[in-house]
Structure 1
Amino acid sequence: MIRFAWVRILSRKLISITILLAFIGLYTLIPLGFQSTKEIKLAVNHSVEEYGRGTYDILVRPSSTRTDVEKKLGMIEENYIGDGGGGISISDWEQIKRNPDIELAAPVASLGYFSGKRMSIELPVLKEPTRFSWQFYTSDGIHKYPIDQKEELYYFDGSVPGNIQYIDASYPNSLTGVAMTVLMPFNYYLLAAIDVESESKLTGIDYSELDKEINDIEFKEVRESLGNPPVIKVIQRHDINIPLYMTVKTDRIDVDLGEYQEKLGLMKDDSLLMGYEKPEKMEQVINELSKAKVLDNREYNLDLSKFQKPFEGTAVKIGEDFSISETDRFMSDQDTSIYYIASKINYKINENNLEVPILEDGPPPIYKTVNKKGISAYQSQKVPFIIEQVGEFSPNKDTNQLASSPLGIYSTTESKSLDGKVVQSTIFPGSFIPTPASGITTLEAAEMVKGQKPIDAIRIKVAGINKYNVDAQEKIEQVAIDLLKSGYEVDIVAGSSFKQMRLDVEGLGQILEPWTTLGVAQELSENWNHMSVISFILFSLFGFLWLYSRVTFEKKALYKEDELLYLLGWKRKFIFLRNCLEQFIIITIGYVVSIILFTLFKQDAFPYLLSSLLWFLTVVMVCLLFLRNGSGNKTRIMEYKKVPAIIHYKEFILPTILVLFISIILLIIQISNLGYSIEKAKETTLGQFTMDETLIIQISIIVITVLLSYLAVSESITALLQYRAKEFSMYHIIGWTKGRILIHFSKEISLWSGVPIVLGVLLGSLILFGMNVSYSWIFISILISIGILSIAIVVTTITKLKPFSKG
């Protein structure tokens, strides 16, 4: 019996090889497809577990503080704490941190924009009388903006050390002394308050200098002169430098020192500064000097950015060559009791982009509502507080560039224009850039400025979590629910990642700014889990239908031969055994080849097990289908009025229709869901990393799906052509040309293949709509899938029909 089966297999080599290749594809490609989806899921889960959790897990804020952008887009700015209005008291925070499931609760409060000491710039002593005129500028990285008005100073020849002869036209709004000094303009920086202990644990930064005692004699004298107001001790961030520039123009003028001393009623050795005691005469002199003849002039552009620290700047001097260097000789202005608070930006949401309108057309333009607070030391001898810088801090670099748990006050990630220019905040409050805190103070100072509920946010780390897996997510969610019930605004930040947000900023154009997308890790896991389930169902259904159609074709092809053997005296059980043995030999060879291929590819146990299961199911299906009573071609009594060939060969065509139906659904869903998942993943750093880790596997899934679909369609059409071989030979004998035979058969195929393809497209599209896949990817996947199956049908029809159309 076995020899008889072997003889028949070898006698029809072409058909046997085709069937064998199909089964090799079945036993190899389907397990590899399942393995690929399994590996993707494992890779995604590994990425999420290892990198999905950032510095903390939950962000707690006062109720009703969630912005429209957060509600609609699920994103927050990196430095979201800035411009907060408070709403959580210190006692509220202490109650939250008593929860045993909370390992750490670090509060933070935004106090507003404060200015520290203004330091001096010493102008150079030149060899000839000179009119100095200068203008300060700031910049947002794209445009420069002037600060205050242009100022002038007139330097006279004849100066000696300790008595430099000059007249400052801006007096009394300037400081005069033994050197020609210019005060840097007021620069305003964001000040935030923290709890030193919890913030140190959260960030690893040393804030101990906030406990430092202030022993500076000059500061004590200034404080006494202002009525001993409370002191807000600040540690400034050492790497923050807001753009500050100075343009200096020098006009060499023809003036005589003695002449102007005489005009001011001064003696020869008197300082010109004594002339300020006679305001009317000084005003006349300044007016005359402004019209003095200019012999020559020069202009210098100086960058002061690196010397301008947030709360304790550096005094500098300008050399005769107009180079800048630090100096120990300085003058300062300690008027630090004026500050500004700003509103949140009123973003206009345009699809997934944000528009940022100008509220006040500068210069520079202002994008927030800004309100002035505090009392100037020049207006009152009693101020509410005084700022004193007592140290510096340096935030740690975030080594996890995949997950984002924004601390709200430290991020210095760059905002850029589309042409790559770095965009920065200016020295004025009201920039659209979410600036980091330039100074840190205590919660006690926050209460002094903002009242009893100064805290804007509490960053919470949940206890007992080592990896960001399903159990960890559930625990974090439970803690978040408990906090939500207490009336807070709660966001799960664990599993978030970075995304480049496109801002359409009025006056600047489109700006790319890093934001944090909430819940990215969960979304990635859910997307790939859904993909695994869908792939499993579709691959399983596809394999079952393919097997069913394959064995059905073979049974139909053997019908006449079986009936002849029966007439020759063979018993039905021997005919059944012969048919099954032939199929068993082919499918077993295909199975063995697949095992060899898995060994060569060094696969793990999963493909071996699945291939073995498929082999077993194939054996069972072969037995069941050959046991089932079937009939040959029934003699027709009445003609088929419509599509006769399709109706007559329906037992062959129906399995092929089912294969096509599943193939088109499988292709559409695989291509669109993978493409859409890749597109979504690339929006965030964690998603990008996951995509990079799984890209080869994702491509292999598409390739496997395409190969399986092509094999299924090709094998189905081949079997149908083999069964109709005599029919096509007859067409050739009666005079039909190859072209006519091809057109005739193509019309049939177009009709019965078009229906399942259309139905498959509709069902596949509905499934994708339910998965919220974008319309563009659905459309692309439909075009690609139809193209692949159409090519498979056309190529198979043309190549397989050739031998049958020759007679």
Structure 2
Amino acid sequence: MLGFIWAQLRGRAGRSAALLTGVLVATTGFVVLTGATTTSRLEVTGAVERDTRAAYDILVRPHGARTPLEVERGLVRPNYLSGLFGGITPAQYEQVKQVAGVDVAAPIAMLGYSTSSVSVRFDLTDAVDRSLDQQVIRVDPTFTAERGLSTAPSRPRYVYVTKRPLLYPEGGDPNASSIPYSDGRMYPYDLQCGDVPREVLPDGRTQPICNPHTIGRSSDDGWTSERENWSVDTVRLLPDGRFEQNRWLSGRAERVATDQLVATYRVTVPFLLAAVDPDAEQRLVGLDDAVIEGRALRPDDTAIDTHLPMHVPERSIPVLSTSRPYLDATVRSALTRLPQARPAGLSIPDLEQALSGATGVKVGTEEYALADGYLDLLAAGISPTGCCWGELQTIFQAGAPEYDRLPDGTLRAVTRAPLAAKTFGTENMYNFNGRPWSADDTGFRPLTSVPMQPTGATIDQVRNWRTVGIFDPEKLSGFSDLSRLPLETYEPPRLDGADERSRQALGGQPLEPSGNPAGYVSAPPLLLTSLAAVPKLMEGSPSPTRTAPISAIRIRVADVAGYTERSAERVRLIAERIADTTGLDVDLTIGSSPAPQTIELPAGSLGRPDLRLAEPWSALGIASVITKAVDRKSLVLFGLVLVVCALFLGNAVSAAVRDRRPELAVLACLGWSARRIAALVLGEVAALGLAAGLLALGLALPLAAALGIEISWYQAALAVPVALLLALVAGVVPALRAAGAHPAAALRPMVAPARWVRRPRNLFGMALVNLVRTPGRTLLGAGALAIGLTALTLVSAAAYAFRGAIVGNLLGDAVSLNVRGADTLAAVVTVVLGAGAVADVLYLNVRDRAAELSTLRAVGWTDTELSRLVGYEGLLIGTLGAVAGAGLGLAGAAWLVGGLPTALIMVAAAVALGGVLLTCLAALVPAALLRRLPTARLLAEE
């Protein structure tokens, strides 16, 4: 039998070589592609392990802190701590620390917004006409924020410039009926104007120049904002051209002469205050290492009780202040000179009427960013008179925004009316800051006032914070950009435009906080104090957070350096222990990644239009999703490549068996049994498969090296059994058909008639009849193409899953770069093999029907018509395979991705269309063979 097999292979060298080449190509391609897929999987798992090390592995929050969106989508909004105030007791924190395996447990207590003030400075030097003895410079401020989209005009401020001498108050008892001035005399205290400068008239008399110093406080309506403040500052223009102003320095009044006239106004800015454990924060993110000036926080830092002048009690806590305010707000001012205005001696009502009605000349504009004002404070250095302090009489806690979910998955933020003035408190002699101007805008968060003193306290106490050090948030311990989550406590807020209209409105810049505590974009905590200071700070406060001040505990697990299955399981077990011990909400943040969400922000009341924004939310546990998706994808591609190779070879072996129909019939007549005939066919196929495997063993390694794919000797050695197995599987059906061959089979037509098909009336109908006459062959070609298109659809689905709406995270986007090349190569090869199978089917149809086609040519059919007939057959096979492949691909994509988005349906449709076009191109080769048919000889044989 072996000798007969060898003789058969040698006698039909051309057919044997063609079949050997087919097995060799299929086997080598399979080994190389599986090596590429394995390599890509290793790259993916390596990238996941390398790039998923975040600041902490477990997030512990109060019971019930999870939002419906977290439960439904596995997403956490950025800077989630900005809306989470208290809920975890110190006792629960101690329980968490005692859980075995916890390396670092870093608590953070979000206390709320404290109001501070920064100064805006306008240079009015060039606005002054030095030829005038008296003039008023009107400053018309307009507050802007959110990249200039929100604007709010303010009441004007005035600077009175006079060449006449001025007298300045020297302090004294504000309860006295008269106060001392710089000329040594006592002047009556003006109940309306207060202790203000007095202008010396030419006749020696003096007149007060009232300054309302309006803070806007009212026990009925609450606090007004800077927009409603107005003032009149007085400056003397000295004979030498300098400007003299009265300033309070080191607790007493001093006259200061400068070359420039600079008007300085205070603007209220809220900063989010949080308390941390300094030691735990240092171990978690390196907080001490981020301190750039002053000192770091100490675990024993607590509130300090002192007395201000006039025996006013003060309770102050030490804080670290940020070096980056993350504040997008600017004050733009138009300057107008009022040469006829004379404010001296006027009461406040008359003064306002006179100044507002005065005519003037526009003399310029000035602009100053509030962030620059904050940086000017930092530049002054840490001191009682420099940087920095803020109020803690009342703090303001902003809750989380709420959303309406639109049909396309976009989250539309729910608006709230602008904050009422009473939200920021009513009149209190120790409230020094007004309401932030930005609070007049549309809000998106509920705001709650939390008093820091007992309700109805009879003794007022100044409660504030003072800076002991400055830290730079960007100097905190860094992590991979793919795992730097918006869950990080100090992550800067950035919302980019999600469509072209929004990007143009924002000028290509991200949307940042405007300073409105109820605004959508919230800054991270920019003031940090020690957790030890909280009990004394909130002593007597009616707030429920006084006994449970901790908002969250961030946990790093020991012996975890990145995402692996072992690490994930270790973190999960520790998280379960924490949840069982404390009853708190526990989430795994290991293996998470930023997942941008589209947010629709309704228009604001200060002019900002509707915006569509991309906000970097966090997808929890996404590393597990990615690795599982890669495993599924690899398994599917392995199977598809193997199946398409088997179909390709099966078609080739079937063609070889059909060529030998007369020979097999003769063998059957000579007495060969069915088993012996089957063994002959399988023996030939196995011999070719074994030879192809050995050749593939030698070709796989250099080919993989040339393509940059790592393949081990073990993987290359698999070529031999794979080739043998493929050859045997491909030869089983043809061998069985050969075994059942009847001697009369050699006389039967190669193509059976399609009896149930109606007589065709056109070329398209004839093409359909021809395909139905060989249903097995037709289905084989369509199936091979369908498998290739299924693979390509699945690769597109995998890329979509890693990049887009289902997983939708930066880690998945980066991972897709690793898997896309190898997967696309595998899918393209399978599609090409499928197209080759279609071309082979068409070629066999042409060869088997050569006599028929020659007859058609003899009766007048042109080569163009015959080529169109073959082309229609290719179109029908391609359509059948494309529809089947797209359907299977979509089913697999739904399993791989976990859903069936519209985008994937469009991708599948595009892949199907491409498959049809490819089969039409493949049909060109057998169509070209029609011109080479020997018509005369075929008709003579027929």
* TM-score interval, smaller chain: 0.7 to 0.9
Q: TM-score, normalised by structure 2?
A: 0.72
In the alignment, the residues of structure 1 paired with residue 383 and residue 335 of structure 2 have an alpha-carbon distance, to the nearest angstrom, of: 22
Stretch moving more, 759-768 or 103-112: 759-768
Aligned position for 1:498: 594
Matched, 1:171 2:258: no
- The alpha-carbon distance between structure 1 residues 529 and 334, as it changes in their structure 2 partners (threshold 3 A), is closer
- The alpha-carbon distance between structure 1 residues 77 and 413, as it changes in their structure 2 partners (threshold 3 A), is same
Aligned position for 2:643: 541
Matches within 5 A, 1:189-588: 189-206=271-288, 209-211=296-298, 220-222=306-308, 225-228=311-314, 230-240=315-325, 242=327, 243-245=329-331, 247=333, 249-254=335-340, 260=344, 264=345, 282-283=347-348, 286=351, 290=355, 296-309=361-374, 336-350=392-406, 351-361=408-418, 363-374=440-451, 382-383=460-461, 385-395=463-473, 396=475, 398-417=478-497, 418-419=503-504, 420-447=508-535, 448-449=537-538, 450-485=545-580, 486-507=582-603, 508=609, 509-564=611-666, 580-581=683-684, 584=687, 588=691
In the alignment, the residues of structure 2 paired with residue 204 and residue 241 of structure 1 have an alpha-carbon distance, to the nearest angstrom, of: 21
1:97-133 CA distances to partner (integer Å, 9 max, x unpaired)? 1111211111112111102366686976864533233
1:419-461 CA distances to partner (integer Å, 9 max, x unpaired)? 3133222233111112111100122344444311111111111
1:144-200 CA distances to partner (integer Å, 9 max, x unpaired)? 434764332423213479777673532365797446974412211111111111111
Q: SS of 1:116's equivalent?
A: strand
Matches within 5 A, 1:127-146: 127=130, 128=132, 129-134=134-139, 135=141, 137-146=143-152
Q: Is the 8 A contact 2:210 2:348 kept in 1?
A: no
Q: Is the 8 A contact 2:109 2:550 kept in 1?
A: yes
Q: SS of 2:490's equivalent?
A: coil
The Cα shift of 1:560 comes to 1.0
Q: SS of 2:108's equivalent?
A: strand
Q: Is the 8 A contact 2:850 2:933 kept in 1?
A: yes
Aligned position for 1:56: 56
1:438-495 CA distances to partner (integer Å, 9 max, x unpaired)? 1001223444443111111111111222331111111112222333344222221111
Matched, 1:714 2:839: yes
The Cα shift of 1:45 comes to 0.5
- The alpha-carbon distance between structure 1 residues 223 and 353, as it changes in their structure 2 partners (threshold 3 A), is farther
Q: SS of 2:267's equivalent?
A: coil
The Cα shift of 1:554 comes to 1.4
In the alignment, the residues of structure 2 paired with residue 513 and residue 647 of structure 1 have an alpha-carbon distance, to the nearest angstrom, of: 56
- The alpha-carbon distance between structure 1 residues 763 and 503, as it changes in their structure 2 partners (threshold 3 A), is closer
Stretch moving more, 511-520 or 623-632: 623-632
Matched, 1:788 2:915: yes
Q: TM-score, normalised by structure 1?
A: 0.83
Q: Is the 8 A contact 2:788 2:827 kept in 1?
A: no
The amino acid across from 1:383 in the alignment is Q
In the alignment, the residues of structure 2 paired with residue 96 and residue 214 of structure 1 have an alpha-carbon distance, to the nearest angstrom, of: 23
Aligned position for 1:67: 67
Q: CA RMSD in A?
A: 4.3
Matches within 5 A, 1:4-15: 4-5=7-8, 8-10=11-13, 13=14
Q: Is the 8 A contact 1:307 1:314 kept in 2?
A: no
Aligned position for 2:765: none
- The alpha-carbon distance between structure 1 residues 546 and 560, as it changes in their structure 2 partners (threshold 3 A), is same
Aligned position for 1:277: none
Matches within 5 A, 1:86-125: 86-116=86-116
1:583-605 CA distances to partner (integer Å, 9 max, x unpaired)? 84587358626733641441522
- The alpha-carbon distance between structure 1 residues 253 and 593, as it changes in their structure 2 partners (threshold 3 A), is same
In the alignment, the residues of structure 2 paired with residue 639 and residue 721 of structure 1 have an alpha-carbon distance, to the nearest angstrom, of: 15
1:244-299 CA distances to partner (integer Å, 9 max, x unpaired)? 42526252524789xx5xxx5xxxxxxxxxxxxxxxx5437735752786564423
The Cα shift of 1:62 comes to 0.9
In the alignment, the residues of structure 1 paired with residue 79 and residue 349 of structure 2 have an alpha-carbon distance, to the nearest angstrom, of: 52
Q: How many residues align?
A: 771
What are structure 1's unaligned runs of at least 5 residues?
265-280, 317-325
Q: Is the 8 A contact 1:672 1:778 kept in 2?
A: no
In the alignment, the residues of structure 2 paired with residue 647 and residue 285 of structure 1 have an alpha-carbon distance, to the nearest angstrom, of: 102
Aligned position for 1:267: none
Q: SS of 2:81's equivalent?
A: coil
Aligned position for 1:604: 711
- The alpha-carbon distance between structure 1 residues 802 and 471, as it changes in their structure 2 partners (threshold 3 A), is farther
In the alignment, the residues of structure 2 paired with residue 729 and residue 764 of structure 1 have an alpha-carbon distance, to the nearest angstrom, of: 41
1:78-107 CA distances to partner (integer Å, 9 max, x unpaired)? 311012131101110111111112111111
In the alignment, the residues of structure 2 paired with residue 662 and residue 693 of structure 1 have an alpha-carbon distance, to the nearest angstrom, of: 23
In the alignment, the residues of structure 2 paired with residue 743 and residue 657 of structure 1 have an alpha-carbon distance, to the nearest angstrom, of: 19
Q: SS of 2:70's equivalent?
A: helix
In the alignment, the residues of structure 2 paired with residue 466 and residue 214 of structure 1 have an alpha-carbon distance, to the nearest angstrom, of: 32
In the alignment, the residues of structure 1 paired with residue 118 and residue 458 of structure 2 have an alpha-carbon distance, to the nearest angstrom, of: 19
Q: Is the 8 A contact 2:121 2:368 kept in 1?
A: no
In the alignment, the residues of structure 2 paired with residue 57 and residue 131 of structure 1 have an alpha-carbon distance, to the nearest angstrom, of: 62
In the alignment, the residues of structure 2 paired with residue 769 and residue 232 of structure 1 have an alpha-carbon distance, to the nearest angstrom, of: 56
Q: Is the 8 A contact 2:444 2:518 kept in 1?
A: yes
Aligned position for 2:191: none
Aligned position for 2:725: 617
Aligned position for 1:592: 695
The amino acid across from 1:247 in the alignment is S
Matched, 1:798 2:908: no
The Cα shift of 1:789 comes to 4.8
Q: Is the 8 A contact 1:672 1:777 kept in 2?
A: yes
What are structure 2's unaligned runs of at least 5 residues?
169-181, 183-196, 200-208, 216-230, 234-245, 248-254, 257-261, 419-438, 498-502, 539-544, 604-608, 758-768
Q: SS of 1:698's equivalent?
A: helix
Q: Is the 8 A contact 1:73 1:352 kept in 2?
A: no
- The alpha-carbon distance between structure 1 residues 422 and 787, as it changes in their structure 2 partners (threshold 3 A), is closer
The Cα shift of 1:528 comes to 1.2
- The alpha-carbon distance between structure 1 residues 241 and 169, as it changes in their structure 2 partners (threshold 3 A), is farther
